[in-house]
Structure 1
């Protein structure tokens, strides 16, 4: 596994290098910068993956570990990225040089740690508490492995075992034969009949040669026989479609002869490999023709002949893999081709051919179960994948083809359902006498019930048939839960899917919006999820696939409900009333299911079902926004929207089990719901209003010392992303930053910004407990602190001195640059002095990072973009503060970490 991971990592790094270099030469520099950043982060992650187990071993062997901060690496990466974006070559080179220096220092320390571990382990005696046991004997090879292996295992064995050179040679020769036939058809000057006769003679000779080799080298002989038979199939097709064989009857006779030879050789030599090679070539032969494409009827009829040959083989030998390949090729290749090439006038003929194919596969599944039961009555076991597909898939897919070809003909659909039900009733009576195949007999009985169940909805007209499908699916799903019938449950899910897909068709076809149809479908979907979660015995039967199906049901049902309510409700309060009703319905369902003690089987469908509600609420906010503020049309709309947000918040927080199970989803949904409600508090200042309730909730969670679940809520990365998004976007895009402005900090926007910064830093401290790297946390703290404090200063300067604000001109303004320099140096001074007194080395490095940024700013901007006096003051002020820092706040000594703790690299 580790070797595979290392190879994947190397491939990933090579891809980044290739894409980055290619983007550079194509003059798409942004991709180069992104690839470079990804390369840097990947390399750091890979080295960290090596250091983590090394630190753990060092702790176990009582070795001291020197802490290495990755903050300089992150800062160097940011400097190089910014320099590349601004096209400053000197800055890019400086960032890359610094990154290489700090990275090599990290590798040097890691090398020293590994050397210490190796030395310690060499001097530590090994305690072998257990003796080496003899390896268990290898199991004997099964004589009937090829008959019992699954399809995938059989293919793997045939492809990867044995003689791979021989198999590759056969594949290449088959391709060569196809090319030879195409070339001979188009270019050779001999008569086409003579050309094809030569190829056929050679192919027959190769087959005979392979049969002669059968006693000497079985695998080589079978390969030759398969090659010869494949070439005969291909030659026959070229001869018929180039009119060398003039009639279909003669071509069919030749094909029957070749197929008969194939069957005889396969049965006589007990070789499934030979049958596989010949059958696969026979299936793909029509697609090698250079002259014209086969019609849908020709291909489907031709596949009937091949499947009849497979039926003969499977009647005599239990070669399950042949049945599986025949089924897959017929459905995927034959069915797809028929729908692509089929025409309206061919519908009846194609229907007959579909019935013939279905009958063949029904017989194959029945006969296969009998043969297996006769061979081993004690070990018979139905495999759940392709065996089930043969029993259930063949009739169901055949019926689907008939249903779609006669979509508007009720009698055809109902008649086909009744016919299939009668057939499987007869098979059930035949198979139930054999105790070894009771599972298969029950499957036949289930199929009979399935085809009987689809008749009533078919007999309903237009949109009422959709309601019939949905209601019947609900009834059968409920019955399946009471009877613990997995087959019935999947039948109900199929009926509900058919109802949903049919509703889309009638939505397009009908002249008016079919509200009755969608009301029935919507309520049925909701009812299925409610019933499934109403009892503990029902919930225990729900698999992951069923839960995923319920999630899609809730998503669809919620979307339909919103559209239906908008269609039913008229008036000025249409949007808010719809939002209130949907939120209230969800709250009611949630409370009912909580009383039923529903757990995660309800939580995941509920969360996914709430997505359309949030999208709808977002559209409402956008619709109410005008010139950067929210203008509610009435007090009712404002209060109703707030109440909906509170109901959605309760939905996410009840039960608290959701926080422990999936804190990312719950935190995102809860904060979004609180932000919805908070938007209604101060609509004239939306950027302030949107975070009032989230900040109050954050403060409340901070003081919940006795309940760690609330702090776990804020450890989610989604909460961190939402907070960071507000910190960036609010400063850049708000249009109400100066409303109520009294003094710097003594104004609404600055106070809210400081509160958000405090919450963001607290959340970052919680992120350390979830394993987030300390270096990333330190960089985020520095950047957020500089970002918000700089904007506080920029707003004050703009308010009192009229300097530019949120314009590119501020980089040319000397007063702005001087103020930012002094601010950043002051922050570095406070941070480093506190860290020096408290002996907090990591905090001191944090302050030092600010000084690095100040130094870059002095060199890049103050030196060339501002006036003489402000430039002198910037340099003198920054230098003086740095001198003071060097005197009163030296770097704390790097202590040795506790061996029992895991340091950050």
Structure 2
């Protein structure tokens, strides 16, 4: 009911809103709530109506009497069982359809009770319950009220946006109505704050947000409305919201009011306006949050203001910033950072803990990270702008830390250390920003590793955290300044920067193998749990930059000697993916060797990604750039990479701490990649021979799939039948190769054969076309034989793989029979095309008299063969299949050949089919019924 009411409401809202998307959304939401209310009402009514009967059944079961069937009441009176105590509700007259059956507790001659008709009673009570549910929905729980207020607020915002267009009454009147609605919500909510606190607080928050909306809309929509007056009123409203929240000690009210206030510019973003007004508006709201933070430690309110402010600034800065907005943006950013740093200090002051006051890490790090990022964007075009921005943030955080250490050294210990670390980080950041980040990102990484080592030696967690963060920052700076243009190999910023970041991270990962000592404080214990979990991510981080260093060298370009010319790549761009892949696979092999010798489990992980690296290189190099794996020098690198991959597979199967299923999936993926590689090798021969417009090119992928499936059948299939004498990898992955990997390849073979038979005309140039002895027919026949061999092999496996038993069913046999039927028919179509001159077009082939006559005779011969074989093997189902094909042939003669064929062709078709049907009737009469119908087609 909820779904259907939601759909109906969505359609109604969509139509009522003039096919706008918001109408669809709001209508669907309202419809869902109405459906929920009616469903609850119906369920409640059904429960009330069946309650007496349920009580009787429960009482009877408790006394060992079977429950009566209300639909099949006994014809004779049933003796009453031992009297039992039944709740009073069960003694009231029944008013539902179940009361038609006599109660087993009373004699059958009981006087009938006059009742209300069941249908009308249910309808009446359902309507009443629906009205009660709707009333409870409007005036009930806090969650429902809040959802309704959100919908109301969205509707009012749409009304304010719509006020910009011409309407039935002036814009001023519309805005006045919205203000009146907001004041009404605020007043009614304040009046009900004592009796219904949750309801009243929600209404007050919605009223404040509505007034915000109206004032902001007035500035946008009314040319003569004074901006100064609007902002003065906003200050008043903001002060009112602060006062109400503080008066009632309601974080929910403050959150609702400020969330609505921050949402106003977003809801009215399309109405135009000056960004300065938005900045002043947000600053007023942030100042109000700072005012509240002096009296209440409401973290949710602080976070709403922080994310709304810096989120809006980031969105505007990346989409709409213009150089002329620099002064306004700079002032807004500075004020916002100061407000939320101060808010973080006030929150720490108001939240004491066992080991010192609690800090809000989001408000400590957030203004530094978000504010510095925005500041860099503002001053990026000014000389040393980023360096001075870093020094400014360092001065702010170090200054606050020095001030708090002077007055609150003990209680603010955690916050002081955090601010000192942030300030020192900005000082460290200012130096490379002034000197050039390309050469200093590597120095940061080494500095971070050194800080981590010092913290490890001194059993201090703060230096270790600082070291980790500094390495992350170094990596981000490296990515931001990445440039592969360099004349000197290896000794260039791209290679050295990534390599030093990798070595620092790998060293850190090695130190993190065991839990590190700490001071024993609560913060240290919490950090230790997080730090120990970073061992694997740190290794993967370092390995990724190790591979990035070699990739940067592979794609390096040398500056051109000509002015204005583009740099010249050192390696051919088409060959670069293979070079990068070989470097990654070789690096994974080295990591695996390290894991073997040092018993370091995480060092095995890169070897699991060798197959994705091979696949990606094949997709980019072969498919993207058109290179062939057998080209020179590609085949050397591919051979080395595949050899290393197989070696890693061998080691992983014996020593890697990985699930066997994941290792088996790697083997399966390698088989599928092998199909593509074999096809690519065959395509090279097609290209060298210039056979792209012939059937040789059309069957390349099919032949590759057949070859791989046949190899799996002969090797893995044999291993699945004989448990002894198995070698790697079939000693443990025989089923993965013979069954799991073979399933998609068998599907490719089946689908490829079907498409090839239907689409390929069989041009065998430079050889002449010979029926059956041409690339298409040979490939189709081989595909059918390979599929049948694989099917029989899987059924003979010991044990049979899960799901493989279906291959012995009628469905699998019918699929193979259907493929064989298509193959035989398309052989005749290609004969008619090449030898009889019928054009290779589906319309022309089907319109050809010769083709239709041949098909009729061919189908009859096939039917005759099936029926004769079925008669000799006593397979009744197979005989019926042949008979069905024969009936289809007769139907074709009557509907197609009789009307379309010429005289000679008609005679040949009818006479040939008739004679063959006589032969069928003589040689293959209907055999008796099989005892095993599932084997009829075997």
User: Which TM-score applies when normalising by structure 1?
Assistant: 0.62
Three-state SS of the structure 1 residue aligned to 2:193 is: helix
Give the deviation of 1:698 after TM superposition. 3.7
Task: Mark the CA change 1:860 to 1:568 in structure 2 (over 3 Å): closer, same or farther.
Answer: farther
Task: Mark the CA change 1:750 to 1:444 in structure 2 (over 3 Å): closer, same or farther.
Answer: farther
User: Which whole-Å CA distance do the structure 2 matches of 1:616 and 1:324 have between them?
Assistant: 48
- Matched with 2:299 is 320
User: Is the CA contact (8 Å cut-off) linking 1:533 and 1:593 kept in structure 2?
Assistant: no
* Matching residue within 157, 161, 172 for 2:152: 172
User: Is the CA contact (8 Å cut-off) linking 2:611 and 2:645 kept in structure 1?
Assistant: no
Q: Does 1:229 align with 2:208?
A: yes
User: Is the CA contact (8 Å cut-off) linking 1:818 and 1:873 kept in structure 2?
Assistant: no
Q: Does 1:162 align with 2:151?
A: no
User: Is the CA contact (8 Å cut-off) linking 1:547 and 1:605 kept in structure 2?
Assistant: no
- Matched with 1:719 is 745
* Matching residue within 755, 766, 775 for 2:782: 755
- Matched with 1:617 is 622
Q: Does 1:591 align with 2:589?
A: yes
Deviations 1:853-886 (A, max 9, x none): 8788667755555531343256447746875897
- Matched with 2:844 is 809
Q: Does 1:362 align with 2:341?
A: yes
Give the deviation of 1:820 after TM superposition. 4.9
- Matched with 2:193 is 214
Give the deviation of 1:671 after TM superposition. 2.0
User: Which whole-Å CA distance do the structure 2 matches of 1:837 and 1:447 have between them?
Assistant: 91
- Matched with 2:386 is 413
Task: Mark the CA change 1:641 to 1:605 in structure 2 (over 3 Å): closer, same or farther.
Answer: closer
Deviations 1:694-736 (A, max 9, x none): 6554443322314162552462465345445643565535875
User: Which whole-Å CA distance do the structure 2 matches of 1:779 and 1:494 have between them?
Assistant: 63
* Matching residue within 859, 869, 887 for 2:907: 869
Q: Does 1:669 align with 2:678?
A: no
- Matched with 2:712 is 701
Three-state SS of the structure 2 residue aligned to 1:215 is: coil
User: Is the CA contact (8 Å cut-off) linking 2:401 and 2:420 kept in structure 1?
Assistant: yes
Give the deviation of 1:303 after TM superposition. 0.8
Three-state SS of the structure 1 residue aligned to 2:384 is: helix
User: Is the CA contact (8 Å cut-off) linking 1:210 and 1:223 kept in structure 2?
Assistant: yes
User: Is the CA contact (8 Å cut-off) linking 1:199 and 1:235 kept in structure 2?
Assistant: yes
Task: Mark the CA change 1:787 to 1:448 in structure 2 (over 3 Å): closer, same or farther.
Answer: farther
User: Which whole-Å CA distance do the structure 2 matches of 1:614 and 1:361 have between them?
Assistant: 49
Give the deviation of 1:651 after TM superposition. 6.3
User: Which whole-Å CA distance do the structure 2 matches of 1:531 and 1:879 have between them?
Assistant: 85
User: Which whole-Å CA distance do the structure 2 matches of 1:538 and 1:847 have between them?
Assistant: 73
Q: Which runs of 5+ in 2 are unaligned?
A: 12-137, 514-532, 559-565, 596-602, 654-661, 690-695, 720-725
Task: Mark the CA change 1:340 to 1:819 in structure 2 (over 3 Å): closer, same or farther.
Answer: same
User: Is the CA contact (8 Å cut-off) linking 2:297 and 2:351 kept in structure 1?
Assistant: yes
User: Which whole-Å CA distance do the structure 2 matches of 1:834 and 1:467 have between them?
Assistant: 82
Give the deviation of 1:272 after TM superposition. 1.8
- Matched with 1:20 is none
Three-state SS of the structure 1 residue aligned to 2:192 is: helix
- Matched with 2:519 is none
Give the deviation of 1:309 after TM superposition. 1.3
Give the deviation of 1:304 after TM superposition. 1.6
User: Which whole-Å CA distance do the structure 1 matches of 2:547 and 2:883 have between them?
Assistant: 52
Instruction: Trace 1:46-125 onto structure 2 (pairs within 5 A).
Output: none
User: Is the CA contact (8 Å cut-off) linking 1:262 and 1:278 kept in structure 2?
Assistant: yes
Task: Mark the CA change 1:680 to 1:212 in structure 2 (over 3 Å): closer, same or farther.
Answer: closer
User: Which whole-Å CA distance do the structure 2 matches of 1:720 and 1:783 have between them?
Assistant: 15
Three-state SS of the structure 1 residue aligned to 2:381 is: coil
Three-state SS of the structure 2 residue aligned to 1:737 is: coil
- Matched with 1:91 is none
User: Which whole-Å CA distance do the structure 1 matches of 2:470 and 2:892 have between them?
Assistant: 68
The higher-RCO structure (CA 8 Å, 6+ apart) is 1
Segment of structure 1 superposing worse, 421-430 or 228-237: 421-430
Task: Mark the CA change 1:316 to 1:844 in structure 2 (over 3 Å): closer, same or farther.
Answer: farther
- Matched with 1:458 is 433
User: Which whole-Å CA distance do the structure 2 matches of 1:696 and 1:404 have between them?
Assistant: 58
Task: Mark the CA change 1:467 to 1:875 in structure 2 (over 3 Å): closer, same or farther.
Answer: farther
User: Is the CA contact (8 Å cut-off) linking 1:469 and 1:499 kept in structure 2?
Assistant: yes
- Matched with 1:19 is none
Number of aligned positions between the proteins: 717
User: Is the CA contact (8 Å cut-off) linking 2:867 and 2:920 kept in structure 1?
Assistant: no
Give the deviation of 1:216 after TM superposition. 2.8
Segment of structure 1 superposing worse, 638-647 or 339-348: 638-647
User: Which whole-Å CA distance do the structure 1 matches of 2:217 and 2:736 have between them?
Assistant: 70
Deviations 1:356-385 (A, max 9, x none): 2123233334443554444x779x999xxx
Task: Mark the CA change 1:579 to 1:292 in structure 2 (over 3 Å): closer, same or farther.
Answer: closer
- Matched with 1:781 is 816
Q: Which runs of 5+ in 1 are unaligned?
A: 16-157, 625-635, 898-905
Task: Mark the CA change 1:201 to 1:743 in structure 2 (over 3 Å): closer, same or farther.
Answer: closer
Task: Mark the CA change 1:637 to 1:478 in structure 2 (over 3 Å): closer, same or farther.
Answer: farther
Give the deviation of 1:344 after TM superposition. 0.9
Deviations 1:404-462 (A, max 9, x none): 1222335221122233345445667759999999887776566456545544553355x
Give the deviation of 1:549 after TM superposition. 12
Give the deviation of 1:266 after TM superposition. 0.6
User: Is the CA contact (8 Å cut-off) linking 2:667 and 2:736 kept in structure 1?
Assistant: yes
User: Which TM-score applies when normalising by structure 2?
Assistant: 0.61
User: Is the CA contact (8 Å cut-off) linking 1:204 and 1:232 kept in structure 2?
Assistant: yes
User: Which whole-Å CA distance do the structure 2 matches of 1:641 and 1:314 have between them?
Assistant: 66
- Matched with 1:607 is 612
Task: Mark the CA change 1:339 to 1:552 in structure 2 (over 3 Å): closer, same or farther.
Answer: same
Task: Mark the CA change 1:806 to 1:778 in structure 2 (over 3 Å): closer, same or farther.
Answer: farther
Three-state SS of the structure 1 residue aligned to 2:370 is: helix
User: Is the CA contact (8 Å cut-off) linking 2:876 and 2:926 kept in structure 1?
Assistant: no
Instruction: Trace 1:607-646 onto structure 2 (pairs within 5 A).
Output: 607=612, 610-619=615-624, 621=626, 638=631, 640-643=633-636, 645-646=638-639
* Matching residue within 326, 330, 333 for 2:309: 330
Task: Mark the CA change 1:277 to 1:637 in structure 2 (over 3 Å): closer, same or farther.
Answer: closer
Deviations 1:6-33 (A, max 9, x none): x89x99xxx9xxxxxxxxxxxxxxxxxx
- Matched with 1:403 is 376
Q: Which has the larger radius of gyration?
A: 2
Deviations 1:766-794 (A, max 9, x none): 69956597687556534443444444454
- Matched with 1:259 is 238
User: Which whole-Å CA distance do the structure 1 matches of 2:489 and 2:333 have between them?
Assistant: 35
User: Is the CA contact (8 Å cut-off) linking 1:203 and 1:229 kept in structure 2?
Assistant: yes
User: Which whole-Å CA distance do the structure 2 matches of 1:841 and 1:395 have between them?
Assistant: 83
Give the deviation of 1:221 after TM superposition. 2.9
Give the deviation of 1:737 after TM superposition. 2.9
